[in-house]
Structure 1
Amino acid sequence: MKTIASFFRFDHYRTSFRKETVAGITTFLTMAYIIIVNPAILEAGGIPRGPQTTATILAAVFGCVVMALWANRPFAIAPYMSENAFVAFTVVKTLGYTWQTAMGAVFVAGIVFSILTVFRVRSWLAEAIPLSLKCAFAVGIGLFLTFIGLNETGLVTLGVAGAPVKMGNIAAPSVLLAVFGYLLTVFLMTRQVRGAIVIGIVATTTLSIAFGVTPMPKEFVSLPPDISPILFQLDIGSVFEIRFFPVVLTIFIMAFLDTVGTLIGLSMRADLLDEHGNLPEIEKPMLADALATTVAPLLGTTTTGAYIESAAGIEEGGRTGFTALVVAGLFLLALFFAPLFTIVPSHAYGIALIVIGSFMIEPIKRIAFDDFTELVPAFLTIVLMIFTYNIGVGMSTGLLTYPLLKAAAGRGREVPAGMWVLALLAVSLFVFFPKM
């Protein structure tokens, strides 16, 4: 135990074995859905669901272990949701490329990420982002999580006509259970009970099973599906064709922006940023992310990166890589206990996302509301993250409007060189992927 505490520097981060373990369990429970959802999405692109399930889990395990042992940060890594949809529905179904070629593009992006990280280009770009946008990333991600949670619990649903969203059926058993779980979690947190989010998720799941809302799985233990049909099946040669360049660029930019925004947003909430608003040694979690993205397509799955659901573990006190190591261990167990881990219904883990969102809006008070060149880019970042249901769109808009407004106001000297590079990347994303 002392060796673990010393390696992960528990004293320095004012944490403990118990806190980190609970944090890891909490993070895993809020992101375990990826075990089911990622294979389901990629199956639309022709990738077999069974092998993809194994690939998804192994990619998450690898990423979390590297994040834990190399970067010592509480950020869990797994295949990204937006990138998997882009590969399945845009690259494969719309543009007509094979999934093997798409995996080749992800692999190339991972190699480029790794090189840029080693030479500190990615950290240079991340440190060029102004404090107002860093705050906006945190707030936007928090409200984005809240919206997801409201939708997952059924409290908010898509509108049929008129308003785009509407109140859900609050008389539905699943919604009533979600309301109970949310109130229970908030009550426990008010009483400063450790593990409140986990207790809320488990209690809601248990009641959901007891009342017949969530069915019991037919089995609790199963052998992992054979991964060989998709292992090392990427097509790298086709990636270097000129016509495929927009796809590679889009995957690269989407993953880069998602990673930067997530790392900064989560780090701000975990109080890991320094006095200048930067994450010390940010190249370490970035390299963990880059290496995971490189390995993922070799296994047969898409771009991986730090998960915003890591905020759940951070709220439970997770501050070191041991949190990510716990997540890795649970993903590894899920290879054999997938039916058990995936039994948690959306109305149970959705309440955690709503709770997290209420904590992540705190940085908004650090945005300079009296300076339009700071306020407007931050505002657009936040609202477009939510209302386009796309973190990348919000971030790209903020990164583009910030330097333009500063220049228009005659304050272009306040814009670091790295911000102009990010603005150019944002423009490229809108040009090559206007309907993202």
Structure 2
Amino acid sequence: MSNLISDFFKFEKYQTSLSREMIAGMTTFATMAYIIVVNPKILEAAGIPFGPSMVATILSAFFGTMAMGLYANRPFALAPYMGENAFIAFTVVKVMGYSWQTALSAIFIGGLLFVIFTASGIRSWLITAIPKNLKNAFVIGIGLFLAFIGLNTTGLVTLGVPGAPVHLGNVSDPSVILAAICFIVTVILMIRNVTGAIIIGILITSIAAFATGVSPAPDKIFSLPPSIAPIAFKLDLAGAFTWGFISVILTVFVMDFLDTMGTVYAVSYRAGLLDENGDLPQIERPLMVDAVTTVLASLLGTTTTGVFVESATGIEAGGRTGMTAVTTAVLFLAALFLSPFFISIPACAYGPSLIVVGMLMIAPCTDLEVKDMSELVPAFLVIILMSFTYNLGIGMVAGFIAYPIMKATTGRLKEVSIGMWVLGLLSALYIVACPH
């Protein structure tokens, strides 16, 4: 049986093993299990009931991640995107006044467009048109973004005051102390080449948090999932086909396009899956999984679903094939019945792993073209705006707009491919149409 699994996922080609892949899958799940609670909590503000929304979140993550493993053979996990869920809940529903049924129709339409764009090859054509310097900037920017999320999640960095937006957290707080210790322990384990260093750090810190009362231990392990019936297949497509709703559909489309593109490239870079040209072979497969899963997610009653940047934690734990994703998917399915246990993992346990991975993702700094200002300016905007706006898409949009402008104004128009002009135009439309 193990030989069949090894042959199917091509362990030998990627120099990995079943045990390593399973540890990687557990690591990925541990760092993104928060989405099981956070996504439905955000969507609850739009009127989507928490229980059914949690089930929709889990099912969409299970389907997308399992398909990524079995069809695309990539160590990427999928779940409803942070940012897109807040856009739907607080902007489309709360501010613009649309119902959540109409809002989810935008997700459905955007997903269908992605299926068409992926099947036609347009999506992969646009991705391969991106210059290498910008791709390296994506990796660095996403790494800093991840690190910032980890710092903020653990309380090591907190919101500040006008003039000083962030500052050091309360380092005397037991939770913050545990997070700092977890970071140190994880890094030491990685330096000593201990297999599963990240998941070991998460488990040790979780046990310590439960034992010391820093975080409440789960009062039960097993629970039956609520019915998904109240939100499944409740789209209001008629309400979506109005002139005023076009900006919403465009925003959802561009946000998903940018988030997926940047994340897929960044985690592929860390996994060593890119070819000599910096492209991901057979990229159409993970892109198609992303597109189809988004369609399914909207039908189930949740928002845009795609590759999670936390997949990088599993990759750092050694994940190289679809078996990592399959393991993560199985754990998501188990979460339907074991959610009290999984959601009890405290931020001081999983947050440091995001900092560790963010640290490792700044490696492409050595490959950045910094002497050529026409290359440096777009890359710099990508890196700083991803973190400073707390939005991956904004950083990429800035890079796509700045790149052709820099080249055109320095007399190097021939260096801008047709695909980059298309991306620049899409980015400009996003800036104009996005309901900020």
TM-score where L is the length of structure 2:
0.99
Q: Which moved more, 1:289-298 or 1:236-245?
A: 236-245
C-alpha distance in structure 2 between counterparts of 1:246 and 1:140, whole Å: 27
Identity within the alignment, %? 57
C-alpha distance in structure 2 between counterparts of 1:56 and 1:364, whole Å: 35
C-alpha distance in structure 2 between counterparts of 1:347 and 1:395, whole Å: 30
TM-aligned CA deviation for residue 336 of structure 1: 0.1
Deviations 1:54-80 (A, max 9, x none): 000000001001111111100100000
Q: Are 1:301 and 2:302 an aligned pair?
A: yes
TM-aligned CA deviation for residue 225 of structure 1: 1.1
Deviations 1:109-158 (A, max 9, x none): 11110011011100000000000010000000000000000011111000
Q: Are 1:313 and 2:288 an aligned pair?
A: no
Which residue number in structure 2 is paired with residue 291 of structure 1?
292
What pairs up with 1:30-429 in 2 under 5 angstroms?
Answer: 30-429=31-430
C-alpha distance in structure 2 between counterparts of 1:235 and 1:162, whole Å: 44
C-alpha distance in structure 1 between counterparts of 2:166 and 2:9, whole Å: 44
1:314 counterpart letter in structure 2? I
- Secondary structure of the 1:245 match is helix
C-alpha distance in structure 1 between counterparts of 2:350 and 2:133, whole Å: 30
Contact 2:91 2:435 in 1 (8 A): no
Structure 1 unaligned segments of length 5 or more: list them: none
TM-aligned CA deviation for residue 270 of structure 1: 1.0
**Matched residue pairs, number?**
435
Structure 2 unaligned segments of length 5 or more: list them: none
TM-aligned CA deviation for residue 35 of structure 1: 0.2
Deviations 1:2-39 (A, max 9, x none): 11110111111111101110110000000000000000
C-alpha distance in structure 2 between counterparts of 1:393 and 1:162, whole Å: 22
TM-aligned CA deviation for residue 161 of structure 1: 4.3
TM-aligned CA deviation for residue 199 of structure 1: 0.5
Contact 2:27 2:313 in 1 (8 A): yes
C-alpha distance in structure 1 between counterparts of 2:413 and 2:154, whole Å: 45
Deviations 1:168-204 (A, max 9, x none): 0111100110111111101111110010000101111
C-alpha distance in structure 1 between counterparts of 2:243 and 2:163, whole Å: 44
C-alpha distance in structure 2 between counterparts of 1:380 and 1:388, whole Å: 11
- Secondary structure of the 1:164 match is strand
1:82 counterpart letter in structure 2? G
2:288 counterpart letter in structure 1? L
TM-aligned CA deviation for residue 160 of structure 1: 3.0
C-alpha distance in structure 1 between counterparts of 2:348 and 2:217, whole Å: 16
TM-aligned CA deviation for residue 434 of structure 1: 5.7
TM-aligned CA deviation for residue 162 of structure 1: 3.4
- Secondary structure of the 2:187 match is helix
Q: CA RMSD in A?
A: 0.8
C-alpha distance in structure 2 between counterparts of 1:106 and 1:237, whole Å: 14
- Secondary structure of the 2:158 match is strand
C-alpha distance in structure 1 between counterparts of 2:96 and 2:299, whole Å: 22
C-alpha distance in structure 1 between counterparts of 2:435 and 2:280, whole Å: 31
Q: Are 1:6 and 2:10 an aligned pair?
A: no
- Secondary structure of the 1:81 match is coil
TM-aligned CA deviation for residue 218 of structure 1: 2.1
Deviations 1:259-298 (A, max 9, x none): 0000011111111111111111111100000010010011
After superposing on structure 2, the runs of 4+ consecutive aligned residues of structure 1 that deviate more than 3 Å are: none
